[in-house]
């Protein structure tokens, strides 16, 4: 079982360009999340989806958009990248919202915006 | 909102015990999680507490006091492979996780 996968592993992007970070899970989890991780700041939630067809804004949503057309995929799009979006991006999923439902994390995408 | 504090760094000797504290001030509480993250890798789940008390899982234990807004992760019989960052995360009433900045533990021989 692959679990949760992300692509690409890393990317260097010119400022002003657009990019989509891909995330796919095969655990049939309802909830999916996108975080960014920056040194000294920890993981911060960008967007989330509690179930297919719905999305919501997290703590730092500006400059990012998401879609959730089906259960497995949750792509994150940067419409016009800026250097402050240089970060490591983690996708995560969980089987439920409450109780002992931990989040499972993908391997991450390291993005550098120049 | 959520405010989660944990020490930035800790160092300990192989075979020793280390306790990582986490204090939180949140607008709601629906569980506390600890994750381990090795450098360059994804976070992986370690423990979950929702009621007061100690949860033990092998060499790792986690404690919660909801009235004090306090948790700790106890790592016993430290091994070199335990060198990693440890993340404290609180789930609020909106069911979203808020993470502390993480504690980097270095285990020395």
Note the Cα B50 to chain centre separation in Å. 14
Q: Residue B24: how many CB atoms within 10 A of its CB?
A: 22
* pLDDT of res. B1: 58
* pLDDT of res. B30: 93
A41 touches chain B (CB under 8 A): yes
pLDDT tens digit sequence for A9-56 = 999 999 999 999 999 999 999 999 999 999 988 899 999 999 999 999
Residue partners of A21: CB distance under 8 A and separation at least 6: A6, A7, A8, A34, A75, A76, A77, A78, A89, A91, A109, A111
* pLDDT band with cut points at 50, 70 and 90 for residue B14: very high
- Label the pairing between strands B18-26 and B2-5: antiparallel
Nearest CA in chain A to B98: A44
Q: Output the DSSP codes for B22-62.
A: EEEEES--S-EEEEEE-TTS--EEEEEE-SSEEEEETTEEE
Chain A residues within 8 A of B97 when measuring between CB atoms:
33, 43, 45, 103
Q: Do B45 and A43 touch (CB under 8 A)?
A: no
Distance of residue B35 Cα from the nearest chain A Cα, in angstroms: 10
Q: Do B87 and A100 touch (CB under 8 A)?
A: no
A5 touches chain B (CB under 8 A): no
A105 touches A53 (CB < 8 A): no
Q: What is the mean pLDDT of chain B?
A: 96
Q: Do B87 and A43 touch (CB under 8 A)?
A: yes
């Amino acid at each position: 079982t692959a679990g949760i996968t992300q692509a690409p592993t890393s990317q260097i992007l010119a400022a002003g360009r657009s990019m989509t970070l891909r995330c796919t899970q095969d655990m049939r989890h309802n909830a999916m999340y996108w975080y960014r991780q920056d040194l000294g700041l920890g993981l911060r939630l960008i967007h989330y989806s509690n179930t297919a067809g719905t999305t919501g804004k997290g703590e730092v949503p500006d400059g990012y958009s998401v879609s959730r057309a089906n259960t497995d995929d949750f792509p994150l799009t940067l419409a016009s990248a800026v250097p402050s979006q240089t970060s490591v991006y983690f996708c995560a999923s969980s089987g439920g919202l409450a109780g002992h439902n931990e989040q499972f994390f993908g391997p991450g995408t390291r993005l550098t915006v120049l | 909102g959520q405010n989660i504090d944990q020490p930035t760094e800790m160092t300990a000797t192989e075979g020793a015990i280390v306790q990582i504290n986490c204090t939180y001030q949140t607008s709601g509480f629906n569980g506390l999680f600890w994750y381990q993250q090795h450098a360059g890798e994804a976070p992986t789940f370690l423990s979950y507490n929702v009621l007061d008390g100690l949860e033990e899982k092998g060499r790792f234990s986690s404690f919660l006091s909801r009235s004090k807004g306090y948790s700790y992760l106890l790592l016993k019989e430290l091994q070199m492979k335990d060198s990693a960052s440890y993340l404290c995360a609180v789930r609020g009433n909106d069911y979203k996780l808020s993470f502390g900045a993480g504690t980097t533990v270095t285990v020395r021989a």
